Each structure stands twice: as structure tokens, then as C-alpha cells.
């Protein structure tokens, strides 16, 4: 389902109450699965369309697991539906590693670095770039569309000065296939604040 460091994966589940409107409560068998839809969840009695419920999966260890999510009608305490979620959380395949030293200076200071992304395939590809800790690193552009074979393009990494004490932290940069979401490459950046 997701890489351990990539963070939360979001799923959309749909349910409807047999009699129209219902106040729904969700229960999960796993602490890694949470309901992201604001509560209370109220299905629409006017339309017959099922209500959308966003479910977040945020693993904390590498594992394969089977979890249950149950939707209960809060007023009658009856089971509306149960979803079975098969999940696998694994460490990402890191293809490149970088160490970046960032001085702790004035609050307005933003450090900018350049990184090159290549299309190693023989056909044009589109990529999406995700960061494991976006509060520490921002990337521009976040999408590379129709990158021609063998071509490298620079991307800019922005490091806002949000850290106030010396420390080191690993940030992962994921290069994902835009259409399928599969991981193409992962870069590990060790940020050392001094």
C-alpha cells in the first residue's frame, strides 16, 4: 500500500444507510488507519448516492497487515458495512544519497539547491515528486510532464529556516510515475543544521 517513509496514503470508501440519512461512526482494528473525514459523518437522505469517507493509512513499522474498518449507524448501533484493508509498508529503495549542510541563521533565510532528475527510459515519461517532510523541504516543480528519453532537468529544492537548533534529519525525495503512482527512484537527503 505505501512506503514507510512516504507518510499517509489516503483511500476513499463509500457507504450508504439503508433508510437514507444516517450518522455514521467508524471503527478500525489498526492504529495506523484513521478516518480523515470530519466527524460526525452524515449520509445524505435526499440523494441515493453513497457518502464518501476518506481513510488515512499511516504506518509506523515495516509490516504486512490485514485490518478491518467498520461503519456503524450511530443511532441504531447496526453495522452498515465492513471494509477489509490489505496493507504492506516497506522501506523505500534509495537510489541516491546526499548530505546537505544548512546554517541556522535569520528567520527569513531560505536556502536553495538544485538537483537533476533524469528520464532513463527510451520513451517520454511524466513524473511527480513528493517529499517525506515538506515542512523542511519544498520542491519546484512538483510535476515533470513528458520528459523526453535521456533528458535531465533541474529541480529546485527550498530549505526554509524552520530549525532553530543543531541537528540532523533524513528527508526522502520520491520520484513517482505520474500515471500509476509507482516509485521510480528515491533520493535520501541527510540535512545537517549547524
Residue 45 maps to which CATH number? 2.60.40.3170
Mean pLDDT of 171-184: 83
Domain that holds residue 178: 96-193
Q: Is the pLDDT of residue 52 over 80?
A: no
Three-state DSSP class for residue 129: strand
Secondary structure (H, E, C), 119-178: CCCCCCEEEEEEECCCCCCEEECCEEEEECCCCEEEEEEEEECCCCCCEEEEEEEEEEEC
CATH number at residue 109: 2.60.40.2310
Asked whether residue 180 falls in the same domain as residue 164, the answer is yes
Contact 67, 82 (CB under 8 A): no
Mark whether 33 and 86 lie in a shared domain.
Answer: yes
130 compared with 56, residue with greater pLDDT: 130
Instruction: Note whether 105 and 35 are same-domain residues.
Output: no
Domain boundary among 74, 90, 106: 90
On average, the pLDDT of the chain sits at 78
Confidence class for position 75, pLDDT limits 50, 70, 90: confident
Tell me how many degrees the CA angle 10-16-22 measures, rounded to the nearest 5.
Answer: 105
All residues at 6 or more sequence positions from 38 whose CB lies less than 8 Å from its CB, including other chains: none
Largest CA distance in the chain: 61
**pLDDT attached to residue 190:** 92
pLDDT at residue 106 is higher than 80: no
Q: Report the distance separating Cα 131 and Cα 175, nearest Å.
A: 9
> With 60 as the cut, is the pLDDT of residue 49 above it?
no
DSSP classification of residue 10? E
Answer with the one of 90, 123, 147 that is the final residue of a domain: 90
Counted domains in the chain: 2
Amino acid at each position: 500500500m505505501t512506503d514507510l517513509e512516504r507518510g499517509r496514503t489516503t483511500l476513499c470508501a463509500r457507504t450508504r444507510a439503508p433508510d437514507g440519512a444516517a450518522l455514521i461512526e467508524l471503527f478500525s482494528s489498526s492504529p495506523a488507519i484513521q478516518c480523515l473525514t470530519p466527524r460526525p459523518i452524515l449520509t445524505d437522505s435526499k440523494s441515493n448516492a453513497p457518502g464518501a469517507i476518506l481513510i488515512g493509512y499511516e504506518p509506523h513499522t515495516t509490516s504486512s497487515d490485514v485490518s478491518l474498518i467498520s461503519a456503524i449507524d450511530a443511532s441504531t448501533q447496526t453495522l452498515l458495512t465492513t471494509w477489509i484493508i490489505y496493507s504492506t509498508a516497506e522501506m523505500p529503495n534509495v537510489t541516491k544519497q546526499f548530505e546537505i549542510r544548512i546554517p541556522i541563521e535569520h528567520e527569513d533565510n531560505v536556502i536553495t539547491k538544485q538537483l537533476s532528475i533524469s528520464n532513463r527510459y527510451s520513451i517520454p515519461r511524466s513524473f511527480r515528486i513528493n517529499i517525506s517532510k515538506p515542512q523542511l523541504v519544498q520542491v519546484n516543480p512538483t510535476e515533470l510532464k513528458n520528459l523526453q528519453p535521456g533528458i535531465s532537468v533541474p529541480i529546485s529544492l527550498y530549505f526554509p529556516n524552520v530549525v532553530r537548533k543543531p541537528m540532523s534529519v533524513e528527508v526522502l525525495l520520491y520520484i513517482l510515475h505520474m500515471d500509476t503512482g509507482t516509485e521510480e527512484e528515491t533520493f535520501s537527503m541527510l540535512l545537517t543544521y549547524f
